[in-house]
Structure 1
């Protein structure tokens, strides 16, 4: 008691009359397989006959700016999986350093009242807490188009430079 609709799940749908014919591909792509000769290698934005007649250069005029950057090769490639994992690890390190600055700074507050005005101490404490975040964002913004090793080197240097010394010396480690 099988109908044609029951067998549809087992087919690729190549004979489906609702599929488009005469589709177009973006520049640089080649259609392969059954029916590939009916697909034209023009851009998706220029599927009409006059755009196809104008050629590839004219077809790229209709592309959005982001696709033009990729077509020209000027835009940087998206970050790799390893780069994203490294950024996540350093983001966590910098978040832990901010927490270390909060804990260490608040433990030193009673001793700092003898040396500095309370307002000055509060301002410097919160600047110290924000320093790891500021370093992380600054490195990301300044090395957007640069090499990955430079970004990692600056993140390692920052992780060492913004260590929460009050937490290390007085906090859980220094006691």
Structure 2
């Protein structure tokens, strides 16, 4: 398993983040590394900011240090709270935004980078979201000059391979208290 970027680890220590949150962010970051690596290898013409996606995956739920009840229950108050928290700590808005957009990929102005963070946050546990995947497929087709069916098949292969490790990831997260 990979480690989170130093700057993110420092923030999590500063915020006294629960072990469950740290484990979750680490897992989603790991999946984002795998996802973006596979996409870059298979679709080199896809225009995305890998460093931004990885930072977004590592911080997307950081607002749960404020709304801890959302660690084990539903809620989206952590999204704007996380974005505001990161900006208050000097994180560039272009990076902090992922904390706010990871649950709202259909919102106006979201980019393929936002969609990839959202996708990593879903597929880590083998959850497939067709509407979200369709946004990535459309971008793959447009940027890479491939037919939609070909982009679908390629993304499906990548996501299936990642989803295959979901049971191990879920078990890892469950070993960490909320």
Is TM (by shorter chain) over 0.5? no
Higher helix share: 2
TM-score normalised by the chain length of structure 2: 0.32
